[in-house]
Structure formats: structure tokens, C-alpha cells
Amino acid sequence: MKEIELIKLTERLISIPSESFNENTIVDFIADYLSEEDHLKVEKINNIVYAVIEGRDRSKTLCLAGHVDTVPPNGNAVPRYEGDRLFGLGAVDMKGGIAIMLKLALTATNPNCNLKFIFYPREEVDNKHNGLKELYSIDKDYLNCDAAILLEPTNGYIEAGCQGVIKLRVYIA
Ligand SMILES: [Zn+2]
């Protein structure tokens, strides 16, 4: 039986070490977790797990994405509870988000629009190693969608980020 209680699933994900460049075990866990579900098409592309659910309206696609790696441990590799709060490496950034993606992928069996899930490695290191870039370089269609939500922690706020950079040169006379 697959665990779908979010806090237990997050605890399980924290207990799998996944420092950047060492994501094999967690990627296998995610691919295995999503396997054998009739409504899901799952592909493993190097260390990226890509899963799609066809929606009732196939003309629109919502993408949910999250990185599976963490920074190096610092005495926090083992998940622990304080009351009903879960602590541990990557609990917030972003194994909690990965747990939500996994639960949605398993339970959203008949969504309004297509859903695309991308679990990718190497986000917590230099941008040139980023797994999303790798996926884009393999086939940019993997990232095609009408809207994308990255489940990074924002304390519950919607943050419209990653919209480019403005560089200004200011002259004061
Ligand atoms: Zn993050």
C-alpha cells in the first residue's frame, strides 16, 4: 500500500538522502511510487521523473514541478517530530512539495486539464547543472504547458517568480 498521508510521505522522502548529484535513490523511489497506475504515463529520463495525466480537456496543460535534491546534511539527515511538526533536511525545500506532487499524481485520476509532473535533480547547485535545463536540452516539448507551478516553499503565498531580469544603468548628472 502506497503511503499518501502527506506528513508520512514527506518523512519518508526526508529519510532518503538526496544531496545534489546523488539523487539516484530518491528518483528510483519516485518512479516506483508512480508505477503501476493506469491513469499515469511515467517516463524516467536520466535522473528526471516525468509523469503525465490526460485531462478531460486535452487542449490545456498544467505543469507541476519540483527538485528532488537537497543541500548537504548538517546534523538534520534523520527526520524527527516536535509535537505535530516534522523537521529534517529538505522538509520545507522541498520534500513537502514533492510529497504534494506525488499525492496529486496518484489521486488526480480524472483532472479537468492535462497534468504534467516533473521531478528533477540538481537544483541546489550551480544553475548550469539544473535538471530542468537538462530536460529542455533533451526535448523542449517536455516543458510545454499553459501554466506551471513550482512547489517551492513560499509559506502558502503564490509568488509570481522567475519572470526575467531587468538590468538598469543609471546616470546621475
Ligand atoms: Zn528549493
Cell 499524481 locates to: 105
36 tagged catalytic:
no
Between the CA of 152 and the centroid of ligand 1 the distance, in Å, is 5
134 tagged catalytic:
no
Whether 4 and 46 have beta carbons less than 8 Å apart is answered as: no
> What's the pLDDT score for residue 125?
95
> What's the pLDDT score for residue 123?
96
> What's the pLDDT score for residue 165?
78
> What's the pLDDT score for residue 98?
98
Between the CA of 80 and the centroid of ligand 1 the distance, in Å, is 20
Running DSSP on this structure, what letter comes out for residue 34?
T
Domain ranges of the chain: 6-150
The environment of the single-atom ion ligand 1, i.e. residues with CB closer than 5 A, is: 93-94, 152
Active-site annotation holder among 11, 23, 123, 124: 123
Series of mean pLDDT values for 10-residue runs along the chain (173 residues): 90 98 98 95 97 97 98 96 96 96 96 98 95 96 95 88 81 92
> What's the pLDDT score for residue 141?
96
CATH class of the domain defined by 6-150: alpha beta
CA gap 53, 109 in Å, rounded: 7
